[in-house]
Amino acid sequence: MMQIVLAVAAGGAAGSVLRFLTSAWVVAHWPRHYYLATLAVNLVGCFLIGLLSALFLARTDLPLALRTGLITGVLGGLTTFSSFSLDVLRLFENGQPGVAIAYLLSSLLGGLLAAWLGMLLVR
């Protein structure tokens, strides 16, 4: 278990640094379009979580620490949007389209509302 925890921690640090470096690069080159960094890490993270999850389903012989460190650690540090996207897809694949749509809408709208309320409280 400790090996998995360390893999997630190391991967999370790497993913967070990658997100920071991406943001710094985008802001340095296109300051008015700072949001492109978030879009980029979200899209790359979604692509990678799809690729890795399919690979790891086919390659269960790969160490659990490696699989968890990459998906939960690196991609979790890079973006949680990738995990969210995979969850929605899994719900659709498992024949739960109503739950998938409810989860998708409540996450997006609920997240926006929660962020707005947090800002409102401070202002």
> In the chain, where are the structural domains located?
1-121
Tens-digit pLDDT profile for residues 2-60: 999 999 999 999 999 999 999 999 999 999 998 888 889 988 988 999 999 999 999 99
52 touches 83 (CB < 8 A): no
12 is in an annotated binding site: no
If we measure between CA atoms, which residue out of 95, 57, 48 comes closest to residue 76?
A: 48
76 is in an annotated binding site: yes
> What does pTM read for this prediction?
0.78
Predicted local confidence at residue 111, as pLDDT? 85
Q: What is the mean pLDDT of residues 87-95?
A: 93
Predicted local confidence at residue 2, as pLDDT? 97
Predicted local confidence at residue 122, as pLDDT? 87
Average predicted confidence (pLDDT) for the chain = 92
Predicted local confidence at residue 87, as pLDDT? 87
Predicted local confidence at residue 81, as pLDDT? 85
Secondary structure, 3-state, the chain:
CHHHHHHHHHHHHHHHHHHHHHHHHHHHHCHHHCHHHHHHHHHHHHHHHHHHHHHHHHCCCCCHHHHHHHHHHHHHHHCCHHHHHHHHHHHHHCCCHHHHHHHHHHHHHHHHHHHHHHHHHHC
